[in-house]
Structure 1
Amino acid sequence: MNNAIDGAISAGGLVIAGERSGVGKTTVTLALLAALAQKSPRVQSFKVGPDYIDPMFHQRATGRPCYNLDPILTSETYVQQCFAHRCRDAEFALVEGVMGLFDGASGLSDVASTAHIARLLNLPVLLVVDCGRLSRSVLAIIHGYRTLDPRVHIAGVVLNRVGSDRHLDLLTDALSSIDIPILGVLRRQDAISLPDRHLGLVPTAELPHLPEILDRLAHLGHTCFNWAALTPLLQTPHPPAPTSPHTPPPPRPHAPTPPRTTAPKIAIAQDPAFSFYYPDNLDILTTLGAELVSWSPLTDKRLPADIDGLYFGGGFPEMFAAELAANQGLLTQIKTALQQGLPAYAECGGLMYLATTLVDLNEKSWPMVGLLPNAVRMGKRLTLGYRQATTQQPSPFLSQGQCLWGHEFHRSQLDTPPARPLYQLKRYGAAQPHATEGWSLHRVHASYLHLHWGDRPEVAQALVAACTRYAQSARPKVAPFQR
């Protein structure tokens, strides 16, 4: 991968980076976004890496989808295209980094790190430093970050968890010798905690008090930062008149829209149990002509009427297993529809939902859809990381021998592996495969692997084509939708 691009630092946006994980990067990002959103309806945010949950908070703060910038799941070119395309109608642009500034997908390079993205986009960096146990040593940390890679321009720092005026004086005196702008100061008492659990932050749909939290964050944003210096960094160059924020994804000339005579209707499972979707994926489906219908496996008693496909994203079905299991009529209807040939794409939480049984964190078993002939059990071991996946057999949306990149992030395991697994998996940077996983049966693709279709639109194209064929067939009609 090419880790740099030529040219001067652009004034078209700002990257928020941490000197390591846990320094308050997300708090700073949300404080800035919430404050900016009170000034402008055209604040566009991005998140480095494959994370789903931080972007949910971004969207609640700005009212616009947050887009992931991940050169492994997509490509360097797509990262650049996505940023430019989504900023076309934006007044301000902000990118939240991942982990520490130079922490990449492996310890061997900074590929897929925040620094990598900053170089690709030619954007300046605002470095967040946890000063809770520091005084003069802050100088060594910031000096090191500024000089490690001269291609990365650190425009200023945010001093977080400052204990007192005296503490701030010590930090300021130490940094005076390297002439680094201090663009924000957050005190220890300013800390705003967001609840978390076994896979990170609790998603926004489960936080009824989130509007009050965002108001507090906006207050921090207005009062704790040097806006005279930050505003020029955040502004996009010559923003045009506002248009719809739901613009289509960047064009991919190698994947033309297939001819069609019927617009397929794809039902998207969207509720607190299933909420992990890349906005690009949904936008691509729409661009390819699909009609997307949102529904809830938690509360809806039947599938939407006359649908031609299902898309189950990831999420936290284990936290809502009792409610999902109690919706027996829906579980039966889904299983029957899938066995009769309704196309479906399921990732992670979606795979768990299609299993026979879900064993939750309290070791209690709950019946699920029952399409996949095995149980899924929550455990303590976290399976995490980028995976190069090679298809071992064709699925409804992938051909045999196809190679693509995805990401795993789960604490559950199937009790028995598939007899004919869909994927052979290899960890990022590894020489040899380490595991197999995934199901392909009927017209259902089910896997733990999360895919971003930005640079692989052929997956979405195949899904839309399968749903179009189903729409044109003499399919069994789904009963009318009831709530």
Structure 2
Amino acid sequence: MALIIAGERSGVGKTTVTLTLLSCLSQRGLQVQSFKVGPDYIDPMFHKHVTGRACRNLDPVLTSESYVKKCFYNYSNLCEYSLIEGVMGLFDGVSTLSRGGVKKRIENYASTAHIAKLLNLSVLLVVDCSRLSGSVAAIVHGYRSFDKEIQIAGVILNRVGSDRHLSLLKNALEPLQIPIFGVLKRQDNITISDRHLGLVPTAELPELNQLIDKLVNLGDCFDWESLLPLLSNRQSGKSLEQTEDSLSHSISPSPHPPISPSPPLPIPPSPHPPPSFPKIAVAYDKAFNFYYQDNLDLLHLGAELVFWSPLEDTELPKNIAGMYFGGGFPEVFAQKLAENTRARNAVKAAILSGIPTIAECGGLMYLCKQIVDMTGKSWEMVGVLPTTAVMDKRLTLGYRRAIALQDSLLVDAGQIIYGHEFHRSRLISDSNKPLFQTYRFDCDEFTGKEGWVSPSNLHASYIHMHWGNSREIPQRFLDKCRVVNSAF
């Protein structure tokens, strides 16, 4: 069994409550597996920092309902305790699912409530009480009665102002007979920095450990005697053998191996990978760190992943057969990226020499001629793409249904993929041969044409993809990398 931490809306303190619970469990020496609902990179970084285990995303839009189930059961069974952080408000999701040419109406798809029903798990509702007293009962009653299939195990009262305030809240909730699992007072000294795309990533927070210590000190605010049984996986009665697929499969180094139909285990890098395994350089530093762990796991099962820093390293790793640039904040570190001329030139030379390369969002920006930052300053970048990325106040956000307009490193013309956009940059000129034609996921609203496939060994797009339910995508990339590797 596990609990889902849900909010009555965004900004009520879900992440703070989740990190506090994870920190307290980890400080007790307990193994806990965390999950995050939705297309999020930064919250999982905080989870991993606390637990030491990679957080897994549960997103049926980017993957599928079946994959969400497999991922949750496979990884939750590896630990004694599991905790899921929800997304936005409990019932906030998309309302129309369009796949396979068949459109059907599903309310609150990919919401926290959807995941709770899909996994048959109870919800712990976080309520921001900073401007509430008696009205808290109406809010909690509404959430508990809105969908009878959702089991709200109890509430966490957050941002309580005083003992008198708490007394008013408890008196209001008493007729509902709903358990109060925790009470957090207003904590002016506990804040997680944010900026234009959400929280500041963990690598940029030197004071993070001190913050975690403060969260651990809030442990006494929770009713652990009631919480621990709900968090324990011993309650579920499930074993790895009962999940839908075995975890024993892997990507083999053969020319056209099938990718495992179930999520792979997080495997540590092999000190002696097979010679047939190509080396893939993965950009990972403060500028580039938006990666789904499942995507890295899939690549790792058929390649040697070599992490390097476009900020700090002046050359690429030796004998690479592929490159992967994830998203991140290249605009924040544009000056330092620009000053590392040797790294930029090495990346450009590798791409022009035919090295298969994936560039998502921030990675795409890095491959442009320039980045114009939030202050209007222009910085030289790799220059493979004949355009400039300009930071804008407008946020581009949402799930996308994307139709490939031509063959690329990862997809075939006509193929439909499902992804997510989340950026404040725009390109001043579009590709004359765009990669995707994109639509909103929940309707047929056209959102544009985007992406670059020139040179032909490059797949550059603003669309973030999770490959869990599309194993042919990383397989295709690995096959191209093996061709390069065989030439060494």
State the TM-score, normalized to the length of structure 1. Answer: 0.91
Deviation at 1:339, TM superposition (A): 0.4
Give the one of 65, 81, 94 matched to 1:76: 65
Deviation at 1:258, TM superposition (A): 6.3
Give CA deviations for 1:360-394 in whole Å, capped at 9, x if unaligned.
11101100000001111001000000000110011
Counterpart mapping for 1:456-471 below 5 A: 456-471=470-485
Give CA deviations for 1:3-57 in whole Å, capped at 9, x if unaligned.
xxxxxxxxx1100000000111110000000000012342100000001000000
Q: 1:63 and 1:334, CA in 2 relative to 1: closer, same or farther beyond 3 A?
A: same
The residue number in structure 1 matching 2:36 is 47
The residue number in structure 2 matching 1:480 is none
Give the one of 312, 316, 331 matched to 2:344: 331
Deviation at 1:111, TM superposition (A): 0.4
The residue number in structure 1 matching 2:290 is 276
Deviation at 1:434, TM superposition (A): 2.5
The residue number in structure 2 matching 1:343 is 356
Instruction: Give me the whole-angstrom Cα distance separating, in 2, the residues matched to 1:252 and 1:53.
Output: 30
Q: How many residues align?
A: 454
The residue number in structure 2 matching 1:298 is 311
Partner AA of 1:259 in structure 2: S
The residue number in structure 2 matching 1:477 is none
The residue number in structure 1 matching 2:271 is none
Deviation at 1:457, TM superposition (A): 1.1
Instruction: Give me the whole-angstrom Cα distance separating, in 1, the residues matched to 2:47 and 2:454.
Output: 37
Counterpart mapping for 1:55-454 below 5 A: 55-106=44-95, 109-189=107-187, 192-220=190-218, 222-237=219-234, 257=252, 259-260=254-255, 262-287=276-301, 289-442=302-455, 443-454=457-468
Deviation at 1:433, TM superposition (A): 2.5
Partner AA of 2:348 in structure 1: K
The residue number in structure 1 matching 2:262 is none
Deviation at 1:228, TM superposition (A): 0.4
Larger mean CA deviation between 17-26 and 429-438 belongs to 429-438
Give CA deviations for 1:381-428 in whole Å, capped at 9, x if unaligned.
000000001100110121111101000000000000110100000002
Runs of 4+ in 1 over 4 A off after TM superposition: 249-253, 255-258
Partner AA of 1:148 in structure 2: F
Preserved contact between residue 106 and residue 428 of structure 1 (Cα < 8 Å): no
Preserved contact between residue 313 and residue 347 of structure 1 (Cα < 8 Å): yes
Instruction: Give me the whole-angstrom Cα distance separating, in 2, the residues matched to 1:40 and 1:146.
Output: 34
Instruction: Give me the whole-angstrom Cα distance separating, in 2, the residues matched to 1:299 and 1:161.
Output: 41
Give CA deviations for 1:170-218 in whole Å, capped at 9, x if unaligned.
1111111010000000011366210000000000000001001011111
Preserved contact between residue 89 and residue 239 of structure 1 (Cα < 8 Å): no
- Helix, strand or coil for the counterpart of 2:469? coil
Deviation at 1:429, TM superposition (A): 1.7
Give the one of 5, 22, 26 matched to 2:15: 26
Instruction: Give me the whole-angstrom Cα distance separating, in 2, the residues matched to 1:206 and 1:431.
Output: 39
Partner AA of 1:406 in structure 2: G
Instruction: Give me the whole-angstrom Cα distance separating, in 1, the residues matched to 2:390 and 2:370.
Output: 8
Deviation at 1:257, TM superposition (A): 4.8
- Helix, strand or coil for the counterpart of 1:80? helix
Preserved contact between residue 253 and residue 277 of structure 2 (Cα < 8 Å): no
Instruction: Give me the whole-angstrom Cα distance separating, in 1, the residues matched to 2:324 and 2:464.
Output: 12
State the TM-score, normalized to the length of structure 2. Answer: 0.90
Give CA deviations for 1:144-168 in whole Å, capped at 9, x if unaligned.
1011111110000000111111111
Deviation at 1:273, TM superposition (A): 0.1
Deviation at 1:431, TM superposition (A): 1.9
Instruction: Give me the whole-angstrom Cα distance separating, in 2, the residues matched to 1:218 and 1:441.
Output: 50
Instruction: Give me the whole-angstrom Cα distance separating, in 1, the residues matched to 2:444 and 2:48.
Output: 38
Instruction: Give me the whole-angstrom Cα distance separating, in 1, the residues matched to 2:477 and 2:246.
Output: 19
Preserved contact between residue 374 and residue 414 of structure 1 (Cα < 8 Å): yes
Q: 1:258 and 1:424, CA in 2 relative to 1: closer, same or farther beyond 3 A?
A: farther
Give CA deviations for 1:423-474 in whole Å, capped at 9, x if unaligned.
0000022224230000012201000000000001111101111111110125
1:473 maps to 2:487: yes
Preserved contact between residue 268 and residue 311 of structure 1 (Cα < 8 Å): yes
Instruction: Give me the whole-angstrom Cα distance separating, in 2, the residues matched to 1:251 and 1:448.
Output: 31
The residue number in structure 2 matching 1:478 is none
Give CA deviations for 1:126-148 in whole Å, capped at 9, x if unaligned.
00001111111111000010111
Instruction: Give me the whole-angstrom Cα distance separating, in 2, the residues matched to 1:238 and 1:133.
Output: 37
Instruction: Give me the whole-angstrom Cα distance separating, in 2, the residues matched to 1:175 and 1:161.
Output: 16
Larger mean CA deviation between 104-113 and 140-149 belongs to 104-113
Instruction: Return 5+ residue gaps in structure 2 as ranges.
Output: 97-105, 256-274
Instruction: Give me the whole-angstrom Cα distance separating, in 1, the residues matched to 2:365 and 2:107.
Output: 34
Instruction: Give me the whole-angstrom Cα distance separating, in 1, the residues matched to 2:165 and 2:222.
Output: 18
Deviation at 1:88, TM superposition (A): 2.0
Instruction: Return 5+ residue gaps in structure 1 as ranges.
Output: 1-11, 244-248, 475-483
Preserved contact between residue 82 and residue 250 of structure 1 (Cα < 8 Å): no
Preserved contact between residue 438 and residue 448 of structure 1 (Cα < 8 Å): yes
- Helix, strand or coil for the counterpart of 2:153? strand
Preserved contact between residue 46 and residue 68 of structure 1 (Cα < 8 Å): yes
